[in-house]
């Protein structure tokens, strides 16, 4: 079974600075998807960024980018020019891509609570 580990329960960053959230995972599969979700106090789960394992290029969405190291099974999220609205719980998630089995399930880490200081 796949597992996702987020080793930083809490992180803080100054407004306009850069912060990196860590995520590692364990899988025996070669092709899969990885996601970062943001959960603000409203509880809404918001997709921030996604990565396909077979793509070498790291995904980027505006101020959000990932550092995907497939061999190390690491998928960190970098937030540049942090804004007060970035304060939230961030979850890393894994999804299998296989044609059979439970490729619709997301496996989540326990989350990292990000505080943005003005």
Binding site residues, another protein, CB under 8 A: 4, 33, 35, 37, 42-45, 47, 50, 91, 93, 95, 102-111
Contacts of 50 (CB under 8 A, 6+ apart): 33, 34, 35, 36, 59
Shortest distance, position 16 Cβ to another protein, whole Å: 29
Shortest distance, position 114 Cβ to another protein, whole Å: 15
Calculate Rg over the CA atoms of the chain: 14
User: In the complex with another protein, which residue's Cβ is closer, 3 or 18?
Assistant: 3
User: In the complex with another protein, which residue's Cβ is closer, 82 or 94?
Assistant: 94
Cα–Cα dist 65/50, whole Å: 10
């Amino acid at each position: 079974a796949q597992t996702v580990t987020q080793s930083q329960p809490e992180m803080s960053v100054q407004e306009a600075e850069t912060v990196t959230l860590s995520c590692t995972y364990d899988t025996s599969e070669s092709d899969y998807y990885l996601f970062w979700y943001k959960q603000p106090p409203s509880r809404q789960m918001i997709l921030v960024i996604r990565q396909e394992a077979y793509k070498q290029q790291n995904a980027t969405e505006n101020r959000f980018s990932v550092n995907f190291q497939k061999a190390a099974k690491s998928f960190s999220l970098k937030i540049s020019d942090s804004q007060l609205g970035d304060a939230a719980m961030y979850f890393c998630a894994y999804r299998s891509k296989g044609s059979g089995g439970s490729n619709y399930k997301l496996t989540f880490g326990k989350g990292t609570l990000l505080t943005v200081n003005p």
